[in-house]
Amino acid sequence: MPVVRPAGGKLRHRRPVAGHAAMVCTLRRDLRDPSRPERWQALVCPLGYPPRVSSLTSLKVSTEVRDRFASAAKVRGVTVRALLDQLSREVVDAALMDEAARQMSQLEEADPDAWNDYLAEGRNWEEGTVEPLDA
């Protein structure tokens, strides 16, 4: 059984809820018996996530890395959080493009006829979508 210690209180035990990967995530005064303020009720959260979990987290990086991010964010006029968000999106996009390029080169090597069909279809789409002002 998990052991729970309320602030300034005695150790208490709480059984996990059957069928859940449960953990005690927070404590609150037992509202069922307000005459006994020393009683605490453990709230058991399925899957181990407490209620109202923040969507933020922290990363452990060296001070040099932190300072480089802070400097880059300052130059761009954004927060470090916004910079990290932007950079993470760029990294994901670059990884997707690298994977697409790898798959296309595999297709070109493995099946030259299919590669030529792919290029011809692309040219047909380009010709079909050209507007008179684009020409």
Q: What is the pLDDT of residues 18-71, one digit of tens each?
A: 544 444 445 555 555 556 555 555 555 555 555 555 677 888 999 999 999 999
Q: Are residues 67 and 124 in the same domain?
A: yes
Q: Are residues 41 and 80 in the same domain?
A: no
8, part of any domain: yes
Domain count, the chain: 2
Q: What is the pLDDT of residues 69-103, one digit of tens each?
A: 999 999 999 999 999 999 999 999 999 999 999 99
Average pLDDT, the chain: 75
Q: Are residues 43 and 92 in the same domain?
A: no
Of 35, 37, 39, residue with least CA distance to 10:
39
Domain hosting residue 98, numbered range: 63-129
In angstroms, the CA 14 to CA 19 distance is 15
